Amino acid sequence: MDVKIEPTWKEQLGGEFGAAYFKKLIAFVRSEYRSQPCFPPGNRVFAAFDHTSFEKVKVVIIGQDPYHGPGQANGLCFSVADGVAKPPSLQNIFREINSDLDIPIPNTGNLERWAEQGVLLLNATLTVRAHEAGSHQNKGWEQFTDAVIDTLSARRDGLVFLLWGGYAKKKGSKIDSRKHLVLSSGHPSPLSANRGYWFGNKHFSKTNKYLEEHKKTPIKW
Q: Tell me the per-residue pLDDT of 57-88, one tens digit each, with 9 for 90 and over.
A: 999 999 999 999 999 999 999 999 999 999 99
pLDDT digits (tens, 9 = 90+) for 116-131: 999 999 999 999 999 9
Residues 6+ apart with CB under 8 A from 137: 65, 124, 125
Model confidence over 38-50: pLDDT tens digits? 999 999 999 999 9
Mean pLDDT confidence for 141-148 = 97
- In tens, the pLDDT along 197-219 reads 899 999 999 999 999 999 999 99
Please check the confidence at residue 2 and state whether its pLDDT lies above 80: no
- The candidate with the shortest Cα–Cα distance to 158, out of 111, 202, 207, is 207
Q: What is the DSSP string of the chain?
A: ------HHHHHHTHHHHTSHHHHHHHHHHHHHHHHS-EES-GGGTTHHHHHS-GGG--EEEEESS---STTTB-SSTT-B-TTSPPPHHHHHHHHHHHHHH-PPPPS---THHHHTTTEEEEESS--EETTBTTTTTTSSHHHHHHHHHHHHHHH--S-EEEEESHHHHHHTTT--TTTSEEEEE--SSHHHHTTTSSTT--HHHHHHHHHHHTT-PPP--
User: Any idea which residues carry the catalytic annotation?
Assistant: 65
Q: Write down the pTM of the prediction.
A: 0.96
Distances, alpha carbon 133 to alpha carbons 19, 75, 109, 113, in Å: 26, 15, 20, 26
Candidates 172, 170, 77, 165; CA nearest to 127 is: 77
The percent of residues above 90 in pLDDT, for the chain, comes to 95
**pLDDT band for position 169 (50/70/90)?**
very high
31-35, 64-68, 189-193: segment of lowest average pLDDT? 189-193
Q: How confident is the model at residue 105 (pLDDT cuts 50, 70, 90)?
A: very high
Asked if the model's pLDDT at residue 172 lies above 60, the reply is yes
Q: Is the pLDDT of residue 194 over 90?
A: no
pLDDT exceeds 80 at position 181: yes
Which region, left, alpha or beta, applies to residue 132 given φ > 0 means left and ψ of -120 to 50 means alpha? beta
Q: What is the pLDDT of residue 1?
A: 57
- pLDDT-above-70 percentage for the chain: 99
Confidence of residue 109 (pLDDT cuts 50, 70, 90): very high
